[in-house]
Amino acid sequence: MKLCGLDDFTLPATMRDSADEGWMSPDAGPARICELGGSRVGTKLVTITDPLLVPLLNASVRQPGGEFEGANGRGSGSDSEAAFVSDCQSGQVGFFAQRRDDSYSDLPTDMRGMLARYADAQAESIGCAPPRMETEAGGD
């Protein structure tokens, strides 16, 4: 299944059978959005490709206590949300993941790990090097 329209983005094996492909915004525009969880929208994943809009994520990227690094950027996160700003050849690109409904148990609760998998898959689709985030949480 192409989760969020990305070939290389998958959920942990224990969750693959219950997930849908997600709703995706059109590729054109300054942000790409994928919502997982059907009408309840358990998780939202966002890619901001307009370097002028990426600073909107700065407050999320600088949250104390959950910082992590990647091959070409830095981020911060918790179990409920994570953000990462990556340096790309076209400028900075932002990635954001948010768990919006704690009662939706079919989706991962570790947003740092979820964001790491999503950003690596999404980066390739927009012509950037994968961020390869080093999150403390295992990602599953």
Mean pLDDT of the chain: 76
With 60 as the cut, is the pLDDT of residue 108 above it? no
Dump pLDDT digits (tens) for 49-107: 998 899 888 777 676 667 888 888 888 888 788 899 999 888 899 999 888 765 545 55
Q: What is the pLDDT of residue 140?
A: 41
Distance set, CA 58 to CA 23, 92, 106 (Å)? 26, 12, 29
Report the distance separating Cα 85 and Cα 73, nearest Å. 6
68: β partners: 75
Q: How far apart are CA 39 and CA 16, in angstroms?
A: 18
pTM for the full predicted model: 0.79
Neighbours of 4 (CB within 10 A): 20
Q: What is the pLDDT of residues 4-41, one digit of tens each?
A: 777 777 665 555 555 565 667 777 788 888 887 765 65
* pLDDT band at residue 109 using 50, 70 and 90 as cut-offs: low
Residue 127: pLDDT above 60? Answer: yes
Q: What is the pLDDT of residue 22?
A: 67
Q: What is the pLDDT of residues 65-77, one digit of tens each?
A: 678 888 888 888 8
